Amino acid sequence: MSELKEFLLPDIGADAADITDILVAVGDTIAEDQDVLTIEGDKASMDVPSSVAGVVKEIKVNVGDSVSEGNLVLIVEVAGSAAAEAPAAEEAPAAAPAEAAAPAAATAVKELCVPDIGGDEVEVTDILVAVGDTITEDQDVITVEGDKASMDVPAPFGGVVKEIKIATGDKVSEGSLILLVEAEGEAPAAAPSAPAEAPKAAAPAKAEVAVNKEIKASPSVRRIAREFDLDLNVIAASGPKGRTTKEDVQKYVKGQLQAAKSGGAGGLAVAAAPKVDFAKFGEVEVKELSRIQKISGPALHRNWVTIPHVTQFDEADITELEEFRKEQNAIALKQDLGVKISPLVFMMKAVAKALQQYPNFNSSLSEDGQSLILKKYFNIGIAVDTPNGLVVPVVKDVLNKGIFEICRDIAEISKKARAGKLTAKDMQGGSMTISSLGGIGGTQFTPIVNAPEVAILGVSKSAIKPQWNGKEFEPRMMVPLALSYDHRVIDGADGARFITAVNKHLSDLRTLIL
């Protein structure tokens, strides 16, 4: 004979909690103490066990519902309920129905064990109760400390402490016996109950004791993390209220495997950015990154963390260069050539000449990092600021082109860049990149190497400065230079030689034709 029983939410140690997962389906056969749903409150995520066994006939809640003690969760078909009544009848056949309730005052000694604490083994640092103390459900009874954090362990049921089975300094793990507790009210579990009555759970929900209480994740997710030896602190959470989901763990593992296959990350594990609700501090606006930023951002991050950067600083005297540039622009204007020479053109010529002198700068590391690929061409990338972000088109064969030809190339690719019409071919095949911020301002900056290139030149705003000529100080136009390079390929001495060569070519244009 079977009957339908209602499973109501037991005492969960909080006023209300949100349902984040339902672990059973209609038709499932469940056992007593089997977890049937996961809920999340302000302080922790927990799995809720069923106090009845049988077949699930109806599920009365949905994911996202807010529930509290006494809410109807499931309707379960329980088989053989009459058998549970038989022992009571045999023990007191002449007892009136009212007498059947007498065992409610009975007590039983129960074992209180360490719950799932999210780790293999921890040390007991404090015992918060004594023999004879009366404890309540969810009262902290011991403090333990693991590799990452200290935590208090709560009791899943109330009663009187009869015996303490551990001592300060002991090592414990999930399942270790902590206390023997004399708990009251165990007998009603065997007494008959009407379908409409709320079954009294022998124990509350199995609250997860988190290693880091700021992490919100269900016990099932924590188990997966422990199986793969993952730190939930470094996994970005995408669930409601900052909850780490199973999908978040899977995405993190997949990313780590891909990084390991590529070898590009060099085994670096980068912690996820903290999740912050900025709106609670004031008004905010969310603006999506541009397509260029989404593409270039990961590449810049990869280059910064995987390339050992060294930056060499210098200043070049471009007084004569500026005089010559202005003279040529005046001539070009009179002749209506439609070309205006910028300082960048001379920077490109100087870099191309230095690349010819120091071939290791015009190279790339092989994929296995065991050899150097030396390039015989001299193509210079130029960083272009566009409304959608920074792009780096490449001007080809700079060493063999004249000043006006390079000017026309720059004008063409800059126009395409700002119109968003650059092709992949326009941005490939560079020997080295120049990032010039001179037209905007600033005195110095550290540019990031644009891999697979091995060096980049940063140019800041030029200024008139007093320079000693051997007899007196005189005003000279000086431009700050910053050369960043890959220290795996280039040592400091060669870095100094290269930037000195660039300096020399900018200070004396005649050296460019030698």
Please identify every residue annotated as catalytic. Answer: 487
- pLDDT score for 342: 93
What is the predicted pLDDT for the residue at 260? 61
| pLDDT for 190 | 40
Q: How many angstroms separate the Cα of 375 from the Cα of each of 264, 308, 432, 433?
A: 22, 21, 11, 14
Find the range with the poorest average confidence among 3-7, 36-40, 118-122, 433-437.
118-122
Share of the chain above pLDDT 70, in %: 81
- Cβ within 8 Å of residue 242, ≥6 positions away: 216, 275
In a domain, 206, yes or no: no
Which pair of tokens denotes residue 316?
A: 């070049």
Q: Is 95 among the domain residues?
A: no
Sign of the dihedral through C-alpha 132, 134, 137, 140: negative
Partners of 122 in beta bridges = 172
pLDDT at 34: 86
Retrieve residue 287's tokens.
């603006």
CATH number reported for the structural domain that contains residue 413 in this entry: 3.30.559.10
Based on the domain organization, do 425 and 471 belong to the same domain? yes
227 with 174, same domain: the answer is: no
Query: Can you give the pLDDT at residue 257?
Result: 76
- pLDDT tier at 32 (50, 70, 90 boundaries)? confident
The mean per-residue pLDDT over the stretch 180-191 comes to 61
Going by pLDDT thresholds of 50, 70 and 90, the confidence category of residue 120 is low
Of 286, 318, 341, the domain-final residue: 286
**Residue where a domain terminates, one of 241, 257, 286:** 286
Report how many domains make up the chain: 4
Q: Do 460 and 322 share a structural domain?
A: yes
Q: Looking at residues 145-173, what average pLDDT do you find?
A: 81
Burial 357-381 (b: 16+ CB within 10 A, else e): ebebbbbbbeeeeeeeeebeebbbb
Q: What is the pLDDT of residues 329-379, one digit of tens each?
A: 999 999 988 889 999 999 999 999 999 999 999 999 998 889 999 999 999
Range of the domain at 509: 295-513
Task: Kindly state the helix (H) or strand (E) to which residue 244 belongs, with its residue range.
Answer: strand 243-244
| Over residues 206-220, mean pLDDT | 51
Mean pLDDT over 26-52 rounds to 81
Non-local CB neighbours of 213 within 8 Å, separated by 6+ positions: 43, 44, 149, 151
- What is the pLDDT at residue 261? 58
Residue 461 confidence (pLDDT) above 80: yes
Higher-pLDDT residue of 92, 231: 231
Same domain, 4 and 120: no
Q: Tell whether 421 is covered by a domain.
A: yes
pLDDT at 495: 97
What pLDDT score was predicted for residue 514? 82
Task: Quote the pLDDT of residue 96.
Answer: 41
pLDDT at 94: 43
What is the DSSP code string of 452-506? TSSEEEEE---EEEEEE-SSSEEEEEEEEEEEEEETTT--HHHHHHHHHHHHHHH
Can you tell me which residue has the tokens 């050296």?
511
Interval 117-136 mean pLDDT? 82
Which tens digit of pLDDT belongs to each residue from 62-109?
A: 888 888 888 999 999 987 644 334 444 344 444 444 344 444 445 788
Looking at the structure, tell me whether residues 124 and 242 fall in a common domain: no
The answer to whether residue 433 sits within a structural domain is yes
3-class state of residue 147 by DSSP: coil
Judgement on whether residues 247 and 363 belong to the same structural domain of the protein? no
* DSSP SS3 for 258: helix
d(CA 137, CA 158): 5
- Residue 37's domain is classified under what CATH number? 2.40.50.100
Surface-to-core class of residue 259, CB atoms within 10 Å of its CB (0-12 exposed, 13-18 middle, 19+ buried): middle
- Predicted TM-score (pTM) of this structure: 0.51
- Residue 103 forms part of a structural domain: no
In the chain, the amino acid numbered 473 is: F
Q: Are residues 84 and 113 in the same domain?
A: no
The Cα 103–Cα 126 span in angstroms is 36
Out of 234-243, 289-298, 459-468, pick the least confident: 234-243
Residue 387 falls inside a structural domain: yes
Residue 505 predicted with pLDDT over 50: yes
Tell me 155's DSSP state.
-
- Alpha carbons within 13 angstroms on the beta-carbon side of residue 352 total 28
pLDDT per residue over 246-283, tens digit each?
A: 888 888 888 777 666 555 444 556 667 788 999 999 99
Q: Are residues 349 and 470 part of one domain? A: yes
**Which of 232, 267, 286 finishes a domain?**
286
Q: Round the average pLDDT of the chain to a whole number and report it.
A: 82
Q: Are residues 336 and 459 in the same domain?
A: yes
Name residue 458's beta-bridge partners: 435, 482
* DSSP collapsed to 3 states, 11-56: CCCCCCEEEEEECCCCCCEECCCCEEEEEECCCCEEEEECCCCEEE
Domain identity same for 382 and 493: yes
Whether 313 and 414 map to the same domain: the answer is: yes
Give the pLDDT score at 338: 87
Q: What is the mean pLDDT of residues 480-509?
A: 97
CATH number at residue 274: 4.10.320.10
Tokens of 348: 């490109």
What residue type is assigned to position 252 of the chain?
Y
Highest mean pLDDT among 171-180, 330-339, 363-372, 500-509 belongs to: 500-509
| Tens digit of each residue's pLDDT (9 = 90 or more) over 473-483 | 999 999 999 99
Residue 146 sits at φ, ψ, to 5 deg, of -110, -160
Does some domain include residue 495? yes
Q: 281 with 313, same domain? A: no
